[in-house]
Structure 1
Amino acid sequence: MKAALLQMTSGIDPAVNGQTLADAIGRAAGEGAAMLFTPEMSGLIDRDRARAATSIVAEGDDRVLATVREAAARAGLWVHLGSLAVRCDDRLANRSFVIDATGAIRVRYDKLHLFDVDLPTGESWRESAAYAPGKTAAVVDTPVGRLGLSICYDLRFPDLYRALSYAGATVLAVPAAFTRPTGAAHWHVLLRARAIEAGCFVIAAAQTGEHADGRATYGHSLAIDPWGEVLVDMGETTGLAFVDLDPARLVDVRARIPVLKHRRPIPPVATA
């Protein structure tokens, strides 16, 4: 099962970002991929909220989403659209989409954990100032396996991945726009840990480089097997990478260390 990862530097023009996505879909299909994975905020990265507000619309009006659906249908390729900012009444959602080879949306997932942090570098982020958190987790059957969805900051909350693996996930998607300081410190180790503890493949398509709004992202889109072995590390360059996900590898790892069978409910914590 061949998967493609797109590493990109999304900017402030959704039309340009949409064309990048459509081109990647065509190229991934041409290389024989069964599914393409794209980063968080594939359609727009703009921390100027007044300017961004003119481009963030309801899902049904989103031209990037429409472009991706049309390109997926034209290429006959499944796409995990890492996320888009979409308007929901008076709030926004950071929303992932899984789109099938006919262009139909199979499942949506809104980011559960919002990035509200102050970094030692002086960077300050308040995702909750504009976005509402999601309310449900999501899994969906795809050509590369049963896919469990998450987005970026969700990576730091292992209970989510425990629930996804209980729901039958064999592949975990972690699209991201990680900052450079947090990426250098935690990206690889957290993704490898999620793969190992869940006994799953992990596909983490990421934003990279210097963006038009002034932010910088870490890159290093990764594909990791259930043993924690890094199969793909894209470094900081934009473009496509490909990985073969071997179901036999997952069966072998889960047989060697059957963590899913050995899990027990967490008991009450005794205090002294």
Structure 2
Amino acid sequence: MTESKLNQRIAAIQLNSGEKLQDNLKAAYYRLKQAKQKGASCAVLPENFAWMGRDSEAAATTEQLHHGEAQNFLQQTAKDLGIWLIGGSHRIQSSSDTRGRAYNACLIYNPQGEQIARYDKIHLFDADVNDGQAYRESDNIKAGEHTTLIDTDFARIGISICYDLRFPALFQSLRRQGADVIVVPSAFTATTGKAHWKALLRARAIENQVYIVAPAQCGTHPYGRETWGHSLCIDPWGEVISELGNEPGVMSCLIDQQKIAEIRRKMPVFDHQRPAHY
């Protein structure tokens, strides 16, 4: 049975990115090609897909908008494979930050290889985790200030990145703006991932009656950081459609518009909200 134009596949790409840009891009292309071969018309890379290294070395991989190897890769790959490509995240220079910080930006390309949208991560991971490390993303990253959605020929897709997952109001805003699918490219730590990853993703899917597609970094990275992996696709009822383990790979899920409409019709939670009384 062929899939209709309105019911297309989105793929989640799981990677173990390191400090060698070209190796990371090669690994990403291999998985993206697999996704295309499996019938995906859209693919989502994880956070920091092109480079995961020490913060002290990050400036060397930060790119100007529309310039740089990572962006050239995204543009050319989207065009070559003829897919919608949601580029996880990569560091993009800020022209206005007085501290010299970059944005943790998700760049989105259409099947013609044109950059059509950009999302800068709004919520920055400044936290102490029980893994022997303290994380201060805001030391090197400037917070974004705007939500982003894209319109494809099969779904309206809202964009988030990693730590954004812990802020339900962002996901509610994306749903109110018409999202059918929300993507969550991530690099969750092994500690927080084991405790919270699946629970948070299922909650966001259930609360907002959307598909959640969450590609992740996995395994041990060259400088000792461990990420959780376990990329997930979840349907609007909160059911896990597919899940990876802790090795690089690719999976996909069918975005069923009829299922979205039926769930929202039978349980119209957004019509029942009473914010004036909260």
TM-score (norm 1): 0.94
Residue 22 of structure 1 aligns to a residue in which SS? helix
Q: Structure 1 residue 264: deviation in Å? A: 2.4
| 8 A contact 1:35–1:144 mirrored in 2 | no
Q: 1:120 aligns to what?
A: 130
Which structure 2 residues correspond to residues 2-13 of structure 1 after superposition, within 5 A? 2-13=9-20
Deviations 1:75-134 (A, max 9, x none): 111111111112223221000112110011111000000000011332200000011000
Q: Choose which of 269, 272, 277 in structure 2 pairs with 1:259.
A: 269
| 8 A contact 1:109–1:138 mirrored in 2 | yes
Q: How many residues get paired?
A: 267
Instruction: Output the CA distance in 2 between the equivalents of 1:73 and 1:106.
Output: 13
Give yes or no for the alignment of 1:33 onto 2:40: yes
Sequence identity (%)? 37
Q: Structure 1 residue 255: deviation in Å? A: 1.4
Deviations 1:220-245 (A, max 9, x none): 10000000000011011211112112
Q: Structure 1 residue 144: deviation in Å? A: 4.2
Name the amino acid aligned to 1:14: L
Instruction: Output the CA distance in 2 between the equivalents of 1:180 and 1:4.
Output: 22
Q: 1:59 aligns to what?
A: 65
Name the amino acid aligned to 2:24: N
| 8 A contact 1:17–1:64 mirrored in 2 | no
Q: Structure 1 residue 215: deviation in Å? A: 0.6
Name the amino acid aligned to 2:264: R
Structure 2 unaligned residues grouped into runs of 5+: 1-7
CA 266–23 in structure 1, closer or farther in 2 if over 3 Å, else same: farther
Q: Structure 1 residue 26: deviation in Å? A: 2.4
Instruction: Output the CA distance in 1 between the equivalents of 2:79 and 2:214.
Output: 23
Instruction: Output the CA distance in 1 between the equivalents of 2:42 and 2:259.
Output: 19
Instruction: Output the CA distance in 2 between the equivalents of 1:232 and 1:114.
Output: 28
Name the amino acid aligned to 1:65: Q
Q: 2:182 aligns to what?
A: 172
Instruction: Output the CA distance in 1 between the equivalents of 2:223 and 2:132.
Output: 17
TM-score (norm 2): 0.92
After alignment, is 99-108 or 258-267 more displaced? 258-267
Structure 1 unaligned residues grouped into runs of 5+: none
